[in-house]
Amino acid sequence: MTRRVAIDDVARHNQRMWDRLAAAGIPYTRPQGTPPKTRAAKRRFLDPNDRLAGMPLDGQRVLALAGGGGWHPVLFAELGADTTVLDISARQLKTVRELARSRDAKVRVVQGDMRDLSGFADGSFDIVWHSHSIVFVPDAHRVIGEVGRVLAPGGVYRASTMHPVTLRMYGTWNGTGWGFTQSYFEDGAVPFEDATWEFDDVKVDAPTLEYGHRISDLINACAAAGLVVDGFWETTPGEISTKVPLRALSRERLIAERDDPEAGSDDALERYLPAFIEWRARKLSPGGSGSGTSTAERSRKASGTRRGGSRTSPRQRPSR
């Protein structure tokens, strides 16, 4: 019998590492900040770069993919969406469950690997919101293929992950410049000499397996899954507004405010190269045209709102 993707060695390992990080309270693994009270302000907190511009959330079916531990699924629910969160870490899901209960928000919680969405029928969701986790699987095309299947025609996939070039350069400073830990064309996990995740006074040894997926592979995977990419951004923490970041880290805020990072540090590297990539794609309607039929387009026409935002508010990777 073929084993399910959800129990392969990479999934087993990273599941243990994320449970370890969650137990230590690393900021990635818990909600950061306090959302505002009004609906409009909550939406800005959730989507500060307006990637879902013009789309009403009330009544939308949303999947927060690998979205345990933070505000995303809870805020989608509070804004009227029929919300499901899937994550591989039971600890991360427990955090979401307790957070939702404390705010009287209804969120469906499912444990599983992002590469295996077989528990969901075709066309189950109108929005898939996927922040900074595809880096933890070697086969991103499987994730995106599943997203394409579970999205309804006209549905929107918004995702973000580590920049594949910058990821391969962390920790390589030699006194005069940076090098590469791995060729851009290699597919294996990016090697790191130091597996310590460090934030303020918390240090955790958690050697997660991380993969720097090539941009072309991600875009082509979207195309193969019937998704049309209509937005792509490269960003770095120094460009980020610190007013409304979702699951923002104290280190990220420090980077945004620091004018002179230590020479050779990850912070300094991110002044030269973007730390993250982010993209938005929509599911083609039957027949492949998608012309004027997407949920986002219908909503945008009805509201007169344009898609906007050139800055992002992603999660920052740990100092290595």
**The domain spanning residue 108 has which CATH number?**
3.40.50.150
Torsion over CA: 37, 43, 49, 53 (sign): negative
Confidence (pLDDT) at 260: 76
Confidence (pLDDT) at 276: 96
CB atoms within 10 A of CB 274: 19
Confidence (pLDDT) at 176: 93
Residue 311 domain-assigned (yes or no):
no
Residue 143 domain-assigned (yes or no):
yes
Confidence (pLDDT) at 309: 32
Per-residue pLDDT tens, the chain, 320 aa: give them.
334 444 689 999 999 999 999 888 888 788 888 899 999 999 999 999 999 999 999 999 999 999 999 999 999 999 999 999 999 999 999 999 999 999 999 999 999 999 999 999 999 999 999 999 999 999 999 999 999 999 999 999 999 999 999 999 999 999 999 999 999 999 999 998 888 888 778 889 999 999 999 999 999 999 999 999 999 999 987 554 333 333 334 444 444 445 678 999 988 999 999 999 999 999 988 765 544 444 444 344 333 333 333 323 333 444 33
Confidence (pLDDT) at 7: 60
Cβ–Cβ < 8 Å for 139, 277: no
d(CA 229, CA 208): 29
Residue 125 domain-assigned (yes or no):
yes
Confidence (pLDDT) at 108: 98
Residue 185 domain-assigned (yes or no):
yes
**How many domains does the chain contain in total?**
1
Residue 12 domain-assigned (yes or no):
yes
Confidence (pLDDT) at 148: 98
Confidence (pLDDT) at 195: 85
Residue 314 domain-assigned (yes or no):
no
Residue 316 domain-assigned (yes or no):
no
pTM of the model: 0.82
Residue 313 domain-assigned (yes or no):
no
Domain span at residue 221 reads: 5-303
- Segment 260-269 long-range contacts (CB within 8 Å, at least 24 positions apart): 263/173, 264/173, 264/175, 264/178, 265/173, 265/319, 266/170, 266/171, 266/317, 266/319, 266/320, 267/237, 269/166, 269/169, 269/170, 269/173, 269/178
